[in-house]
A and B are shown apart, each in its own frame.
Chain A
Amino acid sequence: MMLDIQNVHKKFNETDVLKGIDLQVEKGDVVAILGPSGSGKTTFLRCLNFLERADKGTMIFDGETFDLGAASRQEIARIRKKTAFVFQNYNLFLNKTVLQNVTLGLTVGARMNKAEARDIAETMLRKVGMADRLTSYPNQLSGGQQQRVAIARALASSPEIIYFDEPTSALDPELIGEVLAVMRQLAEDGMTMLVVTHEMDFARNVSNKVLFMEGGNVIENGPSKEFFANPTHPRTKEFIRTILESRQ
């Protein structure tokens, strides 16, 4: 197993936001993390990358065990090297061009030489269909284009897993498709992904596992086919029904 996450707890000012989340991820898995707003999905992803410090929890990554609540600076750096994060609102570096957004982590963070970093960046930007906008600044791009650049930036460091936090939620409806298409392609290429999303078609057709959360607990966790075909828990049934209704 590539990633084994156990018993993640997190409190914000005395409120339990995560009450013991477990998740197993195999290489190549695409896990859709579903659940109503406020259920702790974002917090869970952020804890995995130490953007938020969990109160407790264990992460076994490639056989190496990390304490999410007490990882050292070096351990955090090591974990971040193997992972990448795609944010809901892109978070591109606004003072950098498209190309620089992708190379910065390589040249500054990983001290790679410029030419090599540029090669990698151009490859990744081609993959997301943004190779013709190398010298544009983020503010000159649409939301969909910015998110695709953010995905190229995530890919650049060759992560073993990419965390996506509602990557299409900030986009105008007509721009969602282009980003989902890129993510679907990544999934087909075998990239391991954890994706918090409200896109049910993506969860149903692209992801192979679903983690359904509510109120800081895991309600269901299993193959996505089963999740959609025979949801067992009443809360899951209700969630799927509301989603389907809201789309009509």
Chain B
Amino acid sequence: MSERLWGILRDSFPRLLGYGVRVTIPLTVVSFALALAISVLVALIQYANVKVLRQICRFYIWIIRGTPLLVQLYLVFYGLPSVGIVLDAWPAAVLVFGFNEGAYMAETMRGALESVSTGQVEAGYCVGMNYLQIMAHVVLPQAFRTAFPALSNSLISMLKGTSMAATITVMEMFRQAQVINGRVYESLGLYSEVAVIYLAFCTILTWLQHKGEKKLASYGGTRK
């Protein structure tokens, strides 16, 4: 490796990592929290079969899953201003990432809710609990456990996906790599470097996922 490239990588590393920690991770966390809230709500509406709202949820999932994330980002950030809705880049990114991944996670959550045997719900009624109590104490905890691996995958894919926020001017880690590259023209080196940082982040998340799964397994197995 040339002296020059080595110097560039050494200088850019703390900067990229800084953007990763200060922007990419918070963007991921906030978007994921939004996605989780949306997914639980949408899944519960479908699980409980709430009339009209159920149709709206199906429509939302249909739209989101049938269109590319990049197009959704452009629509919200560049498209909506022409009808008077002007969003800053950050909130636009959070909204799009949250609603996008939320649709996929809603399907995960719905499957997980439906995998909890209805017999347990009936038993809940018979011991004097109401619907909300049964959901809170019996159904949702089990659904979260079932959905945990898939939700973890969503989190990891969202973390990588935040790099697309670069396209709507959010100054996150990947955008920062582009900016540095614009000055020094070291595409291979810089994009490899940023890839390694994403890889490190994802590796940590995967490790956390395994720890979480082990902890949840102490409920005594997965037999239905």
- Cβ-defined contact, A91 with B123, below 8 A: yes
CA distance A138 to B119 in the complex (A): 14
**Which residue of the partner chain, among A51, A77, A80, A137, contacts B220 with CB atoms under 8 Å?**
A137
**Which residue of the partner chain, among B124, B130, B222, contacts A93 with CB atoms under 8 Å?**
B124
- Cβ-defined contact, A140 with B119, below 8 A: no
Whole-angstrom distance between the Cβ of B130 and the nearest chain A Cβ: 8
Whole-angstrom distance between the Cβ of B123 and the nearest chain A Cβ: 4
Given contacts A104-B137, A140-B220, contact A91 B127 (CB under 8 A): no
**Which residue of the partner chain, among B119, B127, B145, B221, contacts A89 with CB atoms under 8 Å?**
B119
Q: In the complex, what residues of B have CB within 8 A of residue A139's CB?
A: 219-223
Chain B, range 109-139, C-beta contacts under 8 Å to A: 117, 119-120, 122-130, 133, 137-138
Q: In the complex, what residues of A have CB within 8 A of residue B126's CB?
A: 49, 51, 80, 83-85, 154
Q: Mark A154-198, 1 if CB is under 8 A from B, else 0.
A: 101100000000000000000000000000000000000000000
- Cβ-defined contact, B128 with A157, below 8 A: yes
Q: In the complex, what residues of B have CB within 8 A of residue A91's CB?
A: 117, 119-120, 122-123
B141 within 8 A of A: yes
Q: In the complex, what residues of B have CB within 8 A of residue A50's CB?
A: 125
Q: In the complex, what residues of B have CB within 8 A of residue A154's CB?
A: 126-127
- Cβ-defined contact, B127 with A94, below 8 A: no
User: Which residue of the partner chain B has the closest CB to A49?
Assistant: B126
Whole-angstrom distance between the Cβ of B121 and the nearest chain A Cβ: 9
Given contacts A84-B126, A95-B145, A137-B220, contact A108 B120 (CB under 8 A): no
B142 within 8 A of A: yes
CA distance A96 to B207 in the complex (A): 27
Q: Which of B122, B126, B141 has the most chain A CB atoms inside 10 A of its CB? A: B126
Given contacts A108-B133, A139-B221, contact A153 B127 (CB under 8 A): yes
- Cβ-defined contact, B119 with A109, below 8 A: no
Whole-angstrom distance between the Cβ of B132 and the nearest chain A Cβ: 10
- Cβ-defined contact, A93 with B128, below 8 A: no
A128 within 8 A of B: no
Q: In the complex, what residues of B have CB within 8 A of residue A105's CB?
A: 124, 127-129
Q: Mark B62-85, 1 if CB is under 8 A from A, else 0.
A: 000000000000000000000000
**Which residue of the partner chain, among A81, A87, A150, contacts B128 with CB atoms under 8 Å?**
A81
- Cβ-defined contact, B125 with A80, below 8 A: yes
Chain A, range 102-124, C-beta contacts under 8 Å to B: 104-105, 108-110
Q: In the complex, what residues of B have CB within 8 A of residue A37's CB?
A: none
CA distance A200 to B137 in the complex (A): 38
Chain A, range 49-77, C-beta contacts under 8 Å to B: 49-51, 77
Q: In the complex, what residues of B have CB within 8 A of residue A213's CB?
A: none
Q: Which of B128, B219, B220 has the most chain A CB atoms inside 10 A of its CB? A: B128
Given contacts A95-B138, A108-B137, A137-B219, contact A51 B128 (CB under 8 A): no
21 A-B Cβ contacts within 8 A?
Answer: A80-B126, A85-B123, A87-B122, A87-B123, A91-B117, A91-B119, A93-B120, A93-B137, A94-B220, A95-B142, A95-B219, A108-B133, A109-B127, A109-B128, A109-B129, A109-B133, A136-B220, A139-B219, A139-B222, A139-B223, A154-B127
> Top 5 nearest A-B pairs by Cβ distance?
A105-B127, A137-B220, A109-B128, A91-B119, A91-B123
